[in-house]
Chains A and B, each alone.
Chain A
Amino acid sequence: MLEIKSVTCVKQERCLFESLSFALDAGQIMQVEGPNGAGKTSLLRIIAGFANADDGDVTFEGYSISERYDDFAAELLFIGHKTGVNGQLTAYENVCHWLDVHGYQRAENIYDILAQLGLVGLEDVPVRTLSAGQQRRVALARLWMNNAKVWILDEPFTALDKKGVAMLQQQFMHQLDRGGAILLTTHQDLTAQFSGLKKVILEYRH
Chain B
Amino acid sequence: MKASHSYWQLFCAVYCKDLTLAFRQRAEIVNPLLFFLIVITLFPLAIGPEPALLSRMAPGIIWVAALLSTMLGLDKVFRDDFNDGSLEQLIASSYPLPLSVLAKVLAHWTITGLPMVLMAPVFALLMNLDTQLLTATLLTLLIGTPLLSFIGAIGAALTVALQKGGILMSLLVLPLYIPVLIFATSAIDTSSMSLAYGGQLAILGAMLAVAAVMAPLAISSALKVSVS
A74 CA to B93 CA in the complex, in Å?
Answer: 6
Chain B 84-101 residues near chain A, CB threshold 8 A: 84-86, 88-96, 100
Contact partner, A88, options B25, B85, B88, B91, Cβ 8 Å:
B25
Q: Is the interface of B mostly helix, strand, loop or mixed?
A: helix
Residue A5 CB within 8 A of the other chain: no
Q: Contacting chain A: which of B5-13, B118-126, B129-137? A: B5-13
Chain A, residue nearest B80 (CB): A86
Contact residue range for chain A? 35 or more
A69-107 vs B: 1/0 string, CB under 8 Å? 011011011101111111111000100011011111101
Give the Cβ gap from B122 to chain A, nearest Cβ, in Å: 30
Residue B21 CB within 8 A of the other chain: yes
Contact B85 A147 (CB under 8 A): no
Residue A48 CB within 8 A of the other chain: yes
Q: Is the interface of A mostly helix, strand, loop or mixed?
A: loop
Contact partner, A82, options B83, B93, B228, Cβ 8 Å:
B83
Contact A78 B17 (CB under 8 A): no
B5: A residues at CB distance < 8 A: 103
Contact A45 B86 (CB under 8 A): no
Looking at A78, A88, A93, A103, which has the most chain B CB atoms within 10 Å of its CB?
A103
Contact B1 A82 (CB under 8 A): no
Contact partner, B100, options A51, A70, A101, A147, Cβ 8 Å:
A101
Residue B227 CB within 8 A of the other chain: yes
Give the Cβ gap from A16 to chain B, nearest Cβ, in Å: 15
Contact B10 A51 (CB under 8 A): no
Task: Give 7 CB contacts A-B under 8 Å.
Answer: A52-B228, A78-B89, A100-B12, A100-B13, A101-B14, A102-B93, A107-B1
Contacts from B to A (Cβ < 8 Å): 1-3, 5-6, 9-10, 12-14, 17, 20-21, 24-25, 80, 83-86, 88-96, 100, 224, 227-228
Contacts from A to B (Cβ < 8 Å): 45, 48-52, 70-71, 73-74, 76-78, 80-89, 93, 97-98, 100-105, 107, 145-147
